[in-house]
Structure 1
């Protein structure tokens, strides 16, 4: 009954692909330093300056193809959509990751920035919205053109400070991501995550950023570079209406972790929505499942409503976390 009520409260929603929706059109785009990035575009045939375009920022070492069905869903509900892979991942992977210079800050300041510029060029005059999963929410604050973002939805977004991990999983996660991952990276010259079944293979610079056990992003290796160069981080440039969605069973996206990242978005209006799996009639959701099509009728409408209106529907599941 709650699911049915939720759907009636939200704007009209198409639950499947529209007849004109197909797989995203592949593209190549140079990042701001010339590195060639690969991605996909969902583009409506008719140009409309009132139609928003959504850029989807992936989680660390998750391929952009993971978000294709969510992109189909946004397209079917009236958005143009851009998905892409950060350098070193998926469509943007070179022949070898050994020696590849790539960090979290490169993914945001160079790669995501290139997508912001592409959106402004390819979808001129259209509003620009962003969806960021996990580190993708952090990347949304690292682009120099962040001021053009109208609305931002993040899911489980944080930058992996180990003390913010859920207490029941903290030490196992610390061993996995802050001990084993950097040691394997030293051995191979990159993190062979795909071989281990953990993640996509990951550039060494990204591993250094992730595994550094510091509570401030500007103290991460690549964060220090940006801060030293500019005297500050670019998060404050983002003035978007921001919805941070977290799941109560996500061991990465705890309340302290989400709030830690939101604290950098000082120029935006921020809402933190905390959802428990039982709020939507599920036993578990976790960190990665939000973008699976199984949640098209329960979780996706929350993001859609915010992207469309900048507001939560009255019967949205979960609770708002008070801002400190």
Structure 2
């Protein structure tokens, strides 16, 4: 399996390297502006499409056997190894967006990371959703996903503004895990036979926006609880306090929020 990826190489000497773990169904191009900023700060960067998404679709999405587990166990480790080849002998960091930060405990080489910084990464647990968003979340997870999988052999997420079309196993696990506690923890002993969440001790920063309907503060702490031995800083961002209309679950990586990006680089610079 070949994954589509893009390297961003700094003009100055590389002080560290970063892999950007994408959210579920989000193509790597979405992170290009942010990756360019990181490279301008002296970080080598790699963005990528998980199997079954964007440039990493071979044949039709309907035929893809990708799952959230294969993203974490196979795709993300392969990307980190590629990053190490292109930028050897420097500290390595992960910026995880939503699923990109949830799945790192499945990486066999996660201990090669010096630190990580997540945005919008949480358990996505439906039980912690705001009432105003709960009906929409239940509709997508518990009606739209199974019906779309049944009718089309995959989930047409693009029809409801939820990113790229999703392989059916990805969507099915997403549904299962968001209906439980601790997201990926729901799969321990069934979907997941081996993981590294309980041995991760590297420093981490968890950014969230207070207008994010999915990664609210309760769900962020629910996700952090899956890492029992990890050092975690949590910072909640208020759009009004940062002079933007909204941040939500996606807009942190848009140019409108580029004045927030030093929150990531300042954190990583402590460990360079």
Please give the range of the TM-score, normalised by the shorter of the 2 chains.
Answer: over 0.9
The whole-number CA distance in structure 2 between the counterparts of 1:223 and 1:279 is 43
Match for residue 270 of structure 2? 309
The answer to whether structure 1 residue 257 and structure 2 residue 219 are counterparts is: yes
Could you tell me how far 1:137 is from its partner in structure 2?
0.7
Give ranges in structure 2 of 5+ residues lacking alignment: none
Q: Which has a greater percent of helix?
A: 2
Match for residue 89 of structure 1? 53
Contact residue 57 and residue 64 of structure 2 kept, 8 A = no
The whole-number CA distance in structure 2 between the counterparts of 1:197 and 1:148 is 35
Q: Which segment drifts farther, 74-83 or 167-176?
A: 167-176
Match for residue 219 of structure 1? 186
Cα 1:37–1:244 shift into 2, 3 Å: same
Match for residue 22 of structure 1? none
Match for residue 2 of structure 2? 36
- Give the number of equivalent residue pairs: 269
The 3-state SS of whatever aligns with 1:83 is strand
Match for residue 241 of structure 1? 203
TM-score (norm 2): 0.92
Could you tell me how far 1:250 is from its partner in structure 2?
0.2
Match for residue 180 of structure 1? 144
Q: Which segment drifts farther, 184-193 or 235-244?
A: 235-244
TM-score (norm 1): 0.78
The whole-number CA distance in structure 1 between the counterparts of 2:261 and 2:128 is 26
Give ranges in structure 1 of 5+ residues lacking alignment: 1-34, 312-324
Match for residue 53 of structure 1? 17
The answer to whether structure 1 residue 276 and structure 2 residue 238 are counterparts is: yes
For 1:119, which of 63, 83, 98 is the aligned residue?
83
Match for residue 8 of structure 1? none
Match for residue 300 of structure 1? 261
The whole-number CA distance in structure 1 between the counterparts of 2:120 and 2:189 is 20
